Structure 1
Amino acid sequence: MQGNDGPIGPRPLPDLAHRVLVMAIVNRTPDSFFDRGRTFGLEQAVAAGHAAAAQGADVIDVGGVKFAPGEALPVAEEIERVVPVVRRLREELPGVLLSVDTFQAEVARAAVAAGADIINDTTGLRGPGMAATAAATGATIVLTHSLAEPRTPLPRPTYDDVVAEVEVALHDLVERATAAGITRERLVLDPGPDLNKTTEHTLALLRGWERFTAPGLPLLAALSRKDVIGETLGLPKEERLEGSLAAAGWVIPRGARILRVHDVAATVRAARMTEVLLGWREPAGPLRHNV
């Protein structure tokens, strides 16, 4: 989806009233949570994007730095990691929405110029210039709840009422975003499961998920293989698929409209089945059983 002079600009999200988007994770990092650097190379990252699209991903989320504690990465190096992937995928997969997972405004700006449609900001506009960048580029932005600075440990996070506090924080983020000139149609909210939260906090978020729909905006659920799944079931990350799918099935009818996942094919099938059960989608058919 390019003109003679390159990408035509960020595309808006489709109507998500009765539709769920599956967002595939592609990390160009050597220390990623699940794949442990499997897609760190440029060609490996591009191939992973193609594989995700073939499995039905609606969005591909490209990241160059994880949120978890670690040494800071120079902005120029992060740009070198993510922008070539975004550019290649925009050229080669024109029908897929592209997202950049970053908390740096310069990285977001460069990625949108290369073809990204979405800025997935895990810090809730904390980074200098991020709100202005989203407003200027017209990209959709994910507003995520987190307490700590990225790459910084936050031992023993404390909340009096985690659901109420996250609800208020997300409302405040919406106010900040719209005040900066970002239209509501370009906003997605992420309550931040596991981000500066214990497993008990995240389970409370999941039980109260509907409360985060109050602003009338789509919710992104980033639950795939996370520690809330592992600690709840007593399983390592390699064995958390079923728990992740169960969590997805829980949050969709409670407002989740984007699922950020490692396991695309399985999640697409689970999401489509849930859409049918909710009356949002017709069965693939033909329906011949006992006919």
Structure 2
Amino acid sequence: MSEEPDLVPTPKDASTVILVRDGDPGLELFLLRRVGGMAFAGGMTVFPGGGVDLSDADASLEWAGPPVEWWAERFGVDPSRAKALVCAAVRETFEECGVLLAGETHDTVVADTSQYRADRERLEKRELTFGEFLTRENLVIRADLLRPWANWITPIGEKRRYDTRFFVAVVPEGQQADGETSEAAAVSWHTPEAAIAQWRRGESILLPPTWTQLETLSRFSETASVLAAEPEIEPILPLLHTVDGTLRVDFPGMDGYYEAGPHPWAGPSRA
């Protein structure tokens, strides 16, 4: 898996959002299983997210919540990059599951996103930029509904590499997360424990970043405690190597990943 330094792909910025809600069994997370055969993470169970688009850095977008400089400090990037990451998080969440973290004012949020179904499809097809959509509908990005959570970088050795910032957000009241996207084969809400148990039974494939977030969030009992958390965000760059002819990835806390289930990591990573 070794490559010459000048042949190692530069990671592309990406944003992933862990949607949470308070359910009868406790804290629940929204997960989607990507369509098999996709170029990246096909068939894997993941959180909504994707790569940052150039249009996500649109400086004209109206913003509610912590200033861009605060996000830049938390993620260790410059303000322009921080704004693009947050905008990508809001855009990807809307595209992939119909949850829109935006409102008509700085203290309101859209209650029903079904009216934007056609725009959502155009966004996914890149026929419309997120900035154009928000401006036309007079919507404000509610960055205050997001919290920074983690930073994972795809290992060296992968052809597709991402520098992914993870966020957490509570699904706004009245909105429903769905699977009406071309990228999802199935969607579901699970407690972290239930999602890990499903993986243990071989019913899903969890890559290291997803598994790690599930393990971390299993320590929380409600959304309020998740939003109140202030995790230290250090970039995690897993290491790919071969053990007895089997490809393995090393990352912080990996012992539980390899000991807990009979289905260790195999195939392209999603960091």
TM (normalized to structure 2)? 0.31
Q: Which has the higher strand share?
A: 2
Q: Which has the higher helix share?
A: 1
